[in-house]
């Protein structure tokens, strides 16, 4: 995949490289939940290409990231906001860990149901979870689930927010024009627009830790 060397693209690469350096410094390179903030929608395509390049075998193709394992593209929520500090066009943030991943969406369905309480809730509610990505991390004999998902129905969103266990940490990205119910255990982040890792626009984006 070719990434054109424009000034804006260079800024995006540097923003991602900065986040990667922080992860390397603390020894936590595995991406679990990722958010990219952009201040200019015109860079959306460049961000998507840069993220895809970063996630897929980039250690074999670039000297910028050596000894880097592959990451899962689907854990990204891309949000458009009005502005970023210092006039930046993009900024990356997220939740990472060491090499403790024991399960992801490609694992056996039965095992996923046993380990993933939130996904089990979604299934019992007959919700469409095809747009949700889950990674389960094991530490000290305890499993935690990290879920990225998108919803385009307000009714479905309300059902998820109501039925998800209160012990789960939920971050909801949404446009403030949307009318939604307030829940004390949810972090609300108003944005202008939001997209998945492919650049498809959605009404609501979710990061769930359980």
Domain count across the chain: 2
Asked which of 36, 66, 97 is the last residue of a domain, the reply is: 97
- The strand pairing partners of 172, in sequence order, are 188, 206
Q: Report the alpha-carbon distance of residue 187 to residue 183 in Å, rounded.
A: 9
Examine the domain organization and report whether 139 and 160 are in the same domain: yes
Contact (CB, 8 A) for 127 and 158: no
Examine the domain organization and report whether 27 and 108 are in the same domain: no
Q: What band does 65 get if pLDDT is binned at 50, 70 and 90?
A: very low
Neighbours of 19 (CB within 10 A): 19
Examine the domain organization and report whether 65 and 77 are in the same domain: yes
Q: What band does 163 get if pLDDT is binned at 50, 70 and 90?
A: confident
Q: Report the alpha-carbon distance of residue 102 to residue 81 in Å, rounded.
A: 34
Q: Higher-confidence residue: 117 or 133?
A: 133
Question: What percent helix, strand, coil does the chain show, rounded to 5?
Answer: 35, 30, 35
Q: What band does 29 get if pLDDT is binned at 50, 70 and 90?
A: confident
Domain that holds residue 165: 101-209
Q: Report the alpha-carbon distance of residue 63 to residue 163 in Å, rounded.
A: 46
């Amino acid at each position: 995949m070719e990434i054109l060397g424009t000034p804006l693209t260079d800024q995006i690469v540097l923003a991602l490289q900065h986040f990667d350096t922080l992860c390397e410094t603390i020894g936590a390179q595995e991406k679990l939940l990722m958010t990219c903030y952009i201040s200019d929608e015109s860079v959306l395509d460049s961000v998507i290409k840069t993220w895809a390049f970063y996630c897929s075998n980039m250690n074999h193709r670039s000297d910028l990231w050596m000894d880097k394992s592959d990451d899962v593209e689907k854990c990204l929520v891309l949000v458009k906001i009005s502005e970023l500090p210092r006039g930046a066009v993009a900024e990356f943030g997220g939740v990472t860990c060491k090499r403790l991943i024991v399960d992801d969406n490609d694992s056996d369905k039965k095992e996923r149901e046993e380990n993933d309480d939130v996904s089990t809730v979604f299934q019992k509610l007959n919700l469409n979870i095809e747009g949700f990505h889950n990674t389960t991390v094991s530490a000290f004999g305890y499993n935690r689930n990290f879920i990225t998902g998108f919803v385009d129905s307000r009714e479905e969103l309300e059902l998820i927010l109501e039925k998800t266990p209160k012990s789960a940490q939920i971050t909801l990205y949404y446009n403030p024009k949307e009318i939604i119910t307030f829940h004390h255990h949810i972090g609300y982040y108003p944005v202008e627009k939001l997209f998945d890792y492919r650049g498809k626009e959605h009404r609501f984006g979710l990061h769930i830790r359980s």
